[in-house]
A and B are shown apart, each in its own frame.
Chain A
Amino acid sequence: MERIGVFVCHCGINISSMVDVESIVERVRELDGVVEAKSYKYMCSDRGAQIIKKSIEEKGIDGAVIACCSPRMHEPTFRGVAEDGGMNPFTVEIANIREQCSWAHDSRERSTEKAMKLVMSSVAKARLLEPLERGRTPVIPNALVIGGGIAGIQASLDLANEGFRVYLVEKDPSIGGRMAQLDKTFPTLDCSSCILTPKMMEVYHHPNIDLMTYSEVLSIEGSIGDYRVKVRRKPRYVDVDRCTGCGDCVTACRMRDRIPDEFNMGLSNRSAIYIQFPQAIPLKAVMDSETCLFHRFGKCGDGPLCVEACEAEAIDFEQKEEVAELNVGAIVVATGYDLLDPASLHEYGYSRSKNVITTLELERLISSSGPTKGEVRLPSSGERPRSVTMIMCVGSRDETQCSWCCRIGCMTALKQVILLRENLGEEVEINILYTDIRSFGKGYEEFYRNVRAENTNFFRGRPSEVRIRNEDIRIDIFDTITNKLFEIRTDMVVLVPAVVPRADSGEFARMMNLSRSGDGFLLEAHLKLKPMDTFVNGIFIAGCCQGPKDITDTVAQASGAASRAAGILSKKELENDPLIAVVDADLCSGCRICISLCPYSAIEPVVETMAGEEVVHAEINEVLCQGCGACVAACPSGAINQMGFKDNQILAMIGVLNDCSDAGGLK
C-alpha cells in the first residue's frame, strides 16, 4: 500500500515503560510510504479506534501498522476498526511490541531498539500488502455433539431447543456418562439420577436430536460451516427397534454374573448381553461380542439362551458395523475425563487390598442400583465397615503425578461423609486426610462447615503409607496442624484419585486437529476469554475434556459451547478468511508436488487446452484451503503464493530485520 498509517500503543505503561514510544513515532514518519504516525495510551479503546478512523478519513491511509500487543490478541479488533473506517481490513499489519518485546526484555534501550525494528519490518510488509475480499460459504445448520455425559446432554438440548438438528454421538451403549454413576451430588445432595434421568429422556424424545449411542467418530473433514464426519456405529447385535429393554436376555445369558461390570467399577458382574444400568437411555440391551460365547466360539450350549428368552425376537447375531456420514456446521466436544488408576501409586495399597477403593467405587456401593443395592459393605468380607478413612489428593497436586487440582475431590469426599453416615449410622468413624480443603463454589464452604461440625476426624497431611496385613489396615499420617504423627486403624480406605485426560485424548485430539495443554486436557483458545473455543474454527469444548470441573461448571460451559455453536449455525453463510494460497496458472508447470503436500486435499489438477495443447495446472479450493502455506513453500516454480504472507512480503521483513540496504525503503 502506498499511504500507510503507523499507530503505536502505550498499552497504559505496559509498552511505554520499556519502549520509548515517541521516538518510534518520530522515526517511522521518515519511512517511505508512511503518511501518518501516532501514538495513544490504549489503541484498542474506542478513542484509539477513532484515531485510526480519523486518519483513514483525513489522511486517506490505505494501509496500517499497529504496534501493540500480540496479533493473536487484537488483530481481529484492528481489522474491524479499519473496516469500519472504510479501509480494507487485510491491509492491517500488527507489530507485536508487548508480549515479544516490552514484557520480555529488561533494558529500555534494547527494547526500544527491537521495537523499532519490528515496527519497521511491519511497515515494509504493509507496503506490499494487498486489499483482499472475503469469500462466502453456506452453513449447514446441523451440529455434532461428541460425548453423552452431562456436558454433551446439556449442549445437545440447548442446540436442539434452538431449532438445530443435533447428532449426539456416545461411545457407550447409554448416555449419562460419569454423572450417571454418582449417587448424590454436592452441595445440595440431589440424587444424581433424579436430576439427570429427565434430561436423558428429553434427549431421547427430542425431535431434533439424533442419538447415536455405541458409536465413535472415525474421521472429520471440511471446515467451519461444513464439516463432514464419519461415525462408526458398533453393532449391538440387538435390534433396537424390537428390543423392549425387559432384561430377559440378561438373566438368561450363560455368562450371567461372570463378566466384570464396568459401570459398577468391577464391583459386580454382568452377563455378556446386558443393559448398561437400570436408567440407561436408550433402554436397550447390548451384546458384548468379546465375551459372548456364541461370538467367540460360534456355539453357545444347544443354542443361545438370549435368543430363546427374547420374546420380541430382537437378538441379531448378523448385525454389522455401520459407518454413518454426517454433515454438520459446528461441533461440540464433550468427551469427559478418566480417574487416575491408583494402582500406579503403590503406597496407597489399592492393588493390595480389596478394601482400598476409590470415590467412584464408593459411589457405586452407596447407590441403590449399585452392586450391594445401596448397602456400604467391605468388598473383602461383605461386613459393615466400622471405620472409613478417606485419602484426598491421590495423585493430584503432586509434581510426580498430576500437578493440578482435581477440583471435585474435596467436595466429593465431604459429600460422601454425609452419605456414609446416612448409610452406616452415626457411630461409624470417619477420618479425612487432606492437603487443603478447597470448597470454592456457591454453597460449598457452608457444606464443608456442616461436615466439619459433625464428628469427623480431619488430619492435614499426606499419608506416608497404607500398611495392609490381611483385614488389618493401618495408615501413618503426620498431621501438620498438630505437628504429631498418628497411626490410624481403619476397615476401609477410600482414595480420591486425580482427574486425568481420557486415555485416548491424544489420539482423539489428533483426529480432530485440536491442541492439548501441557496436562493433556484439550486446549481452549483463551483460558479466560474463550474457554469454550478451540483453535479450530467451529469446534467447541465443554466439560472435563477441557480440564477438571464440577457439574455446575460443566453445565455452564456446555450451555456456553452450545451458544457459541448456535452463533455459527444461525447464520446462512459465513465469511471465509482470504489469507489462503492462490495459484498463478501462468507460472504453474503442473508438477503436482503441491497436491501431494496439501493436508486438506484442497488442490486439484485442472486440464486446460491452450493453443491446441493440453496443459495441467493446479487449482486451490478456497473453502477447503486453511492457509497453512505448505504448498507455497514447496512450489518449485514460485507459482503459489499465500495472501497476507506472500514471499515478497516476508522477504521484505527479513531485509529490514537484517538492516539490509537493498531491502529498500529507508529514506
Chain B
Amino acid sequence: MSEYDPNIIAFLCNWCAYAGADLAGTSRLKYPSNVKSIRIMCSGRVDPVFILEALREGADGILVAGCHPGDCHYQSGNYKTSRKIRLLRRLLRELNMDPERVRFEHISASEGQKFADVVTDFVNELKVMGPNPLKGECQ
C-alpha cells in the first residue's frame, strides 16, 4: 500500500463556501490537493446518506461547508444541515467511527483564506487520525 494520503470529499454550497474556495484559488492561496469538491446549491441539500456512503466507500474525511448563520442564500439551509451533521456525528460514534472525520464549517464567499486554512488543518488532523478503517472495501 502506498503512503497514506487522506482523501477528502467536500460538499460546498454554491453561494458561500464554493465561492470561498474559488476565491482561495483566485487569490493563489495554496492548500493541499487532498480535497475534491462537489458543488451543491445549498448545504441543506446534503443528505446524510451522501456522507455515510462516502465513508463506506473509504473517504477519509468529509467537509460540508455552507454560509455563515443568517447568511444562507436559501434562508436556513445551513442551519438545517448543521443540525443534521451534529446528529450524524453522534450516530458515527455509535458505529465506532471517529466523528471528527465529518466536519461542518461556515465559510463565506469572502473567506478564501478560511477555506484554505480549514482544508490544511483538516488534512493534518486526518493524517494523525490515520486512514478510514473501511478503506479498500470497495476499491
Q: Which residues of A contact B (CB under 8 A)?
A: 70-72, 96, 98-107, 110-111, 113-114, 117-118, 121, 506, 510, 513, 515-518, 523, 535-536, 579, 597, 599-600, 626-630, 632-634, 642, 645, 647, 650-651, 653-655, 657-663
Contacts and interface: CB of A to CB of B under 8 A. Distances in A.
B2 to A, nearest CB: 12
B70 interface: yes
B42 A518 contact: no
Nearest to A655: B57
B86 to A, nearest CB: 15
A645 B40 contact: yes
Counting chain B CB atoms within 10 Å of each CB, the highest count among A71, A118, A597, A628 belongs to: A628
Nearest to B46: A633
Interface in B34-50: 36-42, 44-50
Interface string B40-82: 1110111111100110011100000001001101111100110
Instruction: Give the top 9 A-B pairs by smallest Cβ distance, nearest first.
Output: A629-B45, A99-B25, A628-B74, A103-B25, A630-B44, A658-B57, A628-B42, A599-B75, A99-B22
Interface in B82-101: 84
Given A626-B74, A650-B50, A658-B59, A518 B45 contact: no
A658 B31 CA distance: 20
B107 interface: no
B138 A661 contact: yes
B54 A658 contact: yes
A630 B45 contact: yes
Contacts, number: 160
B18 A104 contact: no
A104 B27 CA distance: 9
B45 A628 contact: yes
Given A113-B33, A658-B7, 12 more contacts: A100-B22, A103-B26, A104-B24, A515-B73, A579-B41, A628-B44, A628-B77, A629-B77, A630-B77, A633-B84, A654-B53, A658-B138
A515 B59 contact: no
A118 B21 CA distance: 15
Contacts of B30: 104-106
B74 A599 contact: yes
B123 interface: no
B14 A72 contact: yes
B36 A114 contact: yes
A630 B50 contact: no
A628 B42 CA distance: 5
Contacts of B21: 99-100, 104
Given A72-B18, A106-B30, A518-B110, A633 B45 contact: yes
11 contacts: A70-B18, A101-B25, A106-B30, A515-B67, A535-B15, A628-B44, A630-B76, A633-B45, A650-B40, A658-B9, A659-B139
Contacts of B37: 96, 100
Contacts of A111: 33
A79 to B, nearest CB: 15
A104 B53 contact: no
Contacts of A654: 9, 38, 50, 53-54, 57, 59
A451 to B, nearest CB: 36
A98 to B, nearest CB: 7
Counting chain B CB atoms within 10 Å of each CB, the highest count among A642, A647, A658 belongs to: A658
A666 to B, nearest CB: 11
Interface in B1-32: 7, 9, 14-16, 18-19, 21-26, 28-32
A626 B116 CA distance: 29
A100 B73 CA distance: 22
A523 B109 contact: yes
Given A103-B25, A515-B73, A518-B108, A657 B36 contact: yes
Nearest to A662: B138
A638 to B, nearest CB: 9
Contact of A597 (B14, B22, B28, B80): B80
Contacts of A118: 36
Counting chain B CB atoms within 10 Å of each CB, the highest count among A72, A100, A653, A655 belongs to: A100
B110 to A, nearest CB: 5
Given A515-B109, A632-B45, A654-B50, A121 B57 contact: no
Contacts of A579: 41
Contacts of B39: 71, 96
Nearest to B39: A71
Nearest to B28: A103
A630 B74 contact: yes
B73 to A, nearest CB: 6
Contacts of A513: 73, 75
Contacts of B45: 628-630, 632-633, 642, 645
Nearest to B70: A510
